[in-house]
Chain A
Amino acid sequence: MSLIQIKNLSHVFPDGSYGIRNIDLSIEAGEFIVIAGANGSGKTTLCRHLNGLLKPTSGDVLLDGLSVSKDLLRARQMVGMVFQNADTQIVGETVQSDIAFGPENLGLNRDEIDARVERVLNIVGLQDLKHQKPYLLSGGEKKRLVIAGVLAMNPRILVFDEPFSNLDYPGGRQLLQQIIHLHETGHTIIVVTHELEKVIAHVNRLVVIQNGRIVRSGEPVDLMGEVEIYGIREPCTSRYGQGLRSWLI
């Protein structure tokens, strides 16, 4: 059984427009996929159904066989979501208290919360900044803090919505390394982006979405020649016939 099964999922906004239409998609445990599409194609709407932030108009999302709508708490623990704007995800007054926010919501005991906070601080390399106020962090550090906050919930699936936006080159590289590391440590990774360049060399599968429908799904190398039809820029190395190269080289 697939870890994530999206069955005939549609979402209609209150104004009657379709966010997504009849989406069918299965994602296996341990996969690293990119969902790509132009602005307004429905990528973010699709992702918000994975942990029940949006309710489907029709269709269903199953996580490990159980519908998201049947157990929202389970879905939100299983699917950690890293949104585009780091600033609006940070709710704590310090790095440490922000990471503890999720485990505190789960009602864990204090020792367990402290252990989780220490563990994820080490994973994202923010140990020295744990007493820092989040608004004093750099863009890259804020993004790592958001990831830490999500990791403290022990999710199996991580969804990154436009993770590289507003990051400079070193910040982007560091984030990519972090995402690759999380994949290597057993997480299922879904990256939603229109910038393939930075991440495409590391993923197992590319899913292209247009006007709320999945129009292509397959191995990245097979789809590179046609992504520009859907408003996604083909990575430079692919354009110049050098295949897909990691951004980390």
Chain B
Amino acid sequence: MAHITAFDYHPGNSFLHLLDNRFKLVMLLGVNLAVARSNPGGLLGLTVILIPIIIKLHISFKSVLKEIRFFLLLLLFVFTARSFTTPGVSLFSIGSLSITEQGVLAGGLVCWRLFLIVVLGLLFIRTSRAMEIKAAIQWYLKPVPWISGQRIALMISLMFRFIPMILELSTEIAEAQQSRAVGRRKNPLFRIRIFVLPLMEGIFKKADEMVDAMEARCFSENRTDPLLSCQHSDWRVLALAGGCCLWMLFV
């Protein structure tokens, strides 16, 4: 059976849980843009704001770090590359390569920004039900001509639904092949081929079955819209977040 990860929705009654997802999406976008443009002072301010929120939501740092371990490796790579490639005052040299003070600062800043963006995404995902995210996206797409908000919303919904199923199927295929000593076959192309073919076959078969099931339940694009409602508190938090973004940009 599958398990809940740190990046899944966790029920709760925090102010983030209670916010309308349309507002949360706008805030996420705004704060991410501010993070991308702000200097260390702004990032420090945001970090100070985020820490109590993380504590309040009982997020385990250990489990989050475990989940994003490959992302942390990417950050390490980015930091190292920046440190070696940015011109400036040399801190120390390894052969013809030298780590510069400006490189360390620039690398640190980029990594800090990227890490904060991941943390913001984590807070959003942990406090937002997938169906509410879908409803908010559908609401934003409604006035856009030539794009069916209903269809996009259903695709998002099916994506949320299909990913665990595909992961389960791929694990099953991998384990079945391991039990038949696939590890002894050294040719990576052969291994990719024998893994991908049954996986794709399984995915298409499941997709076909899902189409039948949806048809059997009268699937139509002209469906009842999801219910969304905003409170005064949503506007207040949005204004506060907007103020924070401006402060981050100009501090």
User: Is B97 on the interface with A (CB-CB < 8 A)?
Assistant: no
Q: Which residues 151-197 of B have a CB within 8 angstroms of A?
A: 157-158, 160-161, 164-165, 168
Q: Report A91 CB to chain B, min CB distance, Å.
A: 6
Residue among B2, B160, B165, B218 with the most chain A CB within 10 A? Answer: B218
User: Is A94 on the interface with B (CB-CB < 8 A)?
Assistant: yes
Residue among A80, A110, A133 with the most chain B CB within 10 A? Answer: A133
Contact B218 A106 (CB under 8 A): yes
* Measured CA separation A113–B216 after assembly (Å): 18
Q: A53-B216, A101-B217, A105-B220 are in contact. Are A135 and B210 (CB under 8 A)?
A: no
User: Is B209 on the interface with A (CB-CB < 8 A)?
Assistant: yes
Q: Which residues 205-251 of B have a CB within 8 angstroms of A?
A: 206, 209-210, 212-220, 222-224, 227
Q: Which of B131, B164, B227 contacts A135 (CB 8 A)?
A: B164
Count, chain B residues at interface, CB 8 A: 34
User: Is A149 on the interface with B (CB-CB < 8 A)?
Assistant: yes
Q: Report B84 CB to chain A, min CB distance, Å.
A: 44
Residues from chain B with Cβ under 8 Å of A104 in the complex: 223-224
Residues from chain A with Cβ under 8 Å of B3 in the complex: 136
Residues from chain A with Cβ under 8 Å of B227 in the complex: 110
User: Is B130 on the interface with A (CB-CB < 8 A)?
Assistant: yes
User: Is A76 on the interface with B (CB-CB < 8 A)?
Assistant: yes
Q: Which residues 147-178 of A have a CB within 8 angstroms of B?
A: 149-150, 153
A-B contact count (CB 8 A): 98
Contact B1 A105 (CB under 8 A): no
Q: A91-B210, A136-B2, A136-B4 are in contact. Are A53 and B224 (CB under 8 A)?
A: no
User: Is B82 on the interface with A (CB-CB < 8 A)?
Assistant: no
Contact B165 A135 (CB under 8 A): yes
User: Is B11 on the interface with A (CB-CB < 8 A)?
Assistant: yes
Q: Report A101 CB to chain B, min CB distance, Å.
A: 6
* Measured CA separation A85–B202 after assembly (Å): 13
Q: Which residues 83-126 of A have a CB within 8 angstroms of B?
A: 83, 85, 87-94, 97, 101-110, 113
Residues from chain B with Cβ under 8 Å of A94 in the complex: 129-131
* Measured CA separation A61–B215 after assembly (Å): 18
Q: Report B176 CB to chain A, min CB distance, Å.
A: 17
Residues from chain A with Cβ under 8 Å of B224 in the complex: 103-104, 106-110, 113
* Measured CA separation A48–B4 after assembly (Å): 36
* Measured CA separation A150–B217 after assembly (Å): 7
Q: A93-B161, A94-B129 are in contact. Are A131 and B223 (CB under 8 A)?
A: no
* Measured CA separation A105–B218 after assembly (Å): 6
User: Is B101 on the interface with A (CB-CB < 8 A)?
Assistant: no
* Measured CA separation A174–B227 after assembly (Å): 34
* Measured CA separation A5–B125 after assembly (Å): 50
User: Is A51 on the interface with B (CB-CB < 8 A)?
Assistant: yes
Mark contacts of B55-70 with chain A using CB atoms, 8 A cut-off: 1 yes-contact digit, 0 otherwise.
Answer: 0000000000000000
User: Is A77 on the interface with B (CB-CB < 8 A)?
Assistant: yes
Q: A76-B218, A133-B8, A153-B217 are in contact. Are A93 and B131 (CB under 8 A)?
A: yes
Q: A104-B223, A108-B224, A131-B11 are in contact. Are A91 and B213 (CB under 8 A)?
A: yes
Q: A110-B227, A113-B224 are in contact. Are A53 and B206 (CB under 8 A)?
A: no
Q: Which residue of the partner chain B has the closest CB to A150?
A: B217
Q: Which residue of the partner chain A has the closest CB to B3?
A: A136
Residues from chain A with Cβ under 8 Å of B218 in the complex: 73, 76-77, 102, 105-106, 153
Residues from chain B with Cβ under 8 Å of A105 in the complex: 217-220, 223
Mark contacts of B102-143 with chain A using CB atoms, 8 A cut-off: 1 yes-contact digit, 0 otherwise.
Answer: 000000000000000000000000000111001000000000
* Measured CA separation A41–B210 after assembly (Å): 23
Q: Which residue of the partner chain B has the closest CB to A109?
A: B224
* Measured CA separation A81–B218 after assembly (Å): 11
Q: Report B217 CB to chain A, min CB distance, Å.
A: 4
Contact B131 A92 (CB under 8 A): yes
Measured CB to CB, the residues of B under 8 A from A are: 1-4, 8-9, 11, 129-131, 134, 157-158, 160-161, 164-165, 168, 206, 209-210, 212-220, 222-224, 227
Q: List 5 additional contacts besides A85-B209, A92-B161, A93-B130; criterion CB under 8 Å.
A: A76-B218, A104-B224, A105-B219, A105-B220, A135-B161
- A–B Cβ pairs within 8 angstroms, 13 of them: A51-B216, A53-B215, A53-B216, A76-B216, A76-B217, A83-B213, A91-B213, A94-B129, A102-B218, A104-B223, A104-B224, A106-B220, A135-B2
Give 8 nearest A-B pairs by CB, closest first: A88-B209, A93-B130, A89-B213, A102-B217, A135-B164, A104-B224, A105-B218, A97-B131
